C-alpha cells in the first residue's frame, strides 16, 4: 500500500510541476491571454479606422464637397468661377553675392532672377483662396 501511495504522490508532483513550471503550463496560458487582449485592442482600433474610411468612401460617392476638397488639396485644382493667385517670394540676397557685386562695381543685384525654392502645392492652394 505504501508503494501505491508513493507512486500516486510522484504522479501528483509530476502533474503539478507540468502545470505550474513547464512551458505549456500556467505561464503560457497567461501569455496567451495577454496576447489575446492586445490583439483585441488592435482590432478595435482597426475597426474604428475601417468605419472612418467607409464613411469617407460613402461621402466621396455621394457628396461633391468631398470630391472638390480632394481635388483642391491633392491636385491643386481651382474652381471655374475662381481666380488663382500665386505669390512668389524672391530669394534673399546672400552677403557674399552683395560683396562680390559691390567689389566689381555693380549695383548689388544678384544674377539669379528666379527664387530657388518655388511655393509648394499646399501654399499655392492657400493662395488661391
Are 49 and 104 found together in one domain? no
- Dist CA 9 CA 20 (whole Å): 16
C-alpha torsion sign, points 6, 7, 10, 15: negative
Judge if pTM exceeds 0.85.
no
pLDDT of residue 19: 75
Are 22 and 56 found together in one domain? yes
30 within a domain of the structure (yes/no): yes
Return the top range by mean pLDDT from 18-22, 34-38, 82-86: 34-38
Interaxial angle between packed helices 64-75 and 26-62, expressed in degrees from 0 to 180 and rounded to the nearest 10 = 100
Give the structural domain span for 121: 79-129
The conformation of residue 92, written as its DSSP 8-state character, comes to P
Mean pLDDT of 11-23: 79
Mean pLDDT of 5-12: 89
DSSP H helices, the chain, are: 2-20, 26-62, 64-75, 95-103, 121-128
Average pLDDT, the chain: 77
Are 1 and 53 found together in one domain? yes
Amino acid at each position: 500500500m505504501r508503494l501505491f501511495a508513493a507512486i500516486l504522490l510522484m504522479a501528483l508532483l509530476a502533474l503539478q510541476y507540468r502545470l505550474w513550471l513547464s512551458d505549456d503550463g500556467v505561464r503560457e496560458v497567461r501569455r496567451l491571454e495577454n496576447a489575446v487582449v492586445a490583439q483585441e485592442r488592435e482590432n478595435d482600433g482597426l475597426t474604428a479606422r475601417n468605419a472612418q474610411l467607409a464613411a469617407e468612401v460613402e461621402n466621396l460617392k455621394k457628396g461633391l464637397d468631398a470630391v472638390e476638397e480632394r481635388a483642391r488639396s491633392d491636385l491643386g485644382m481651382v474652381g471655374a468661377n475662381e481666380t488663382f493667385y500665386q505669390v512668389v517670394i524672391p530669394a534673399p540676397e546672400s552677403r557674399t553675392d552683395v560683396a562680390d557685386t559691390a567689389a566689381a562695381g555693380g549695383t548689388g543685384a544678384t544674377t539669379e532672377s528666379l527664387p530657388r525654392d518655388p511655393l509648394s502645392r499646399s501654399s499655392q492652394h492657400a493662395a488661391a483662396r
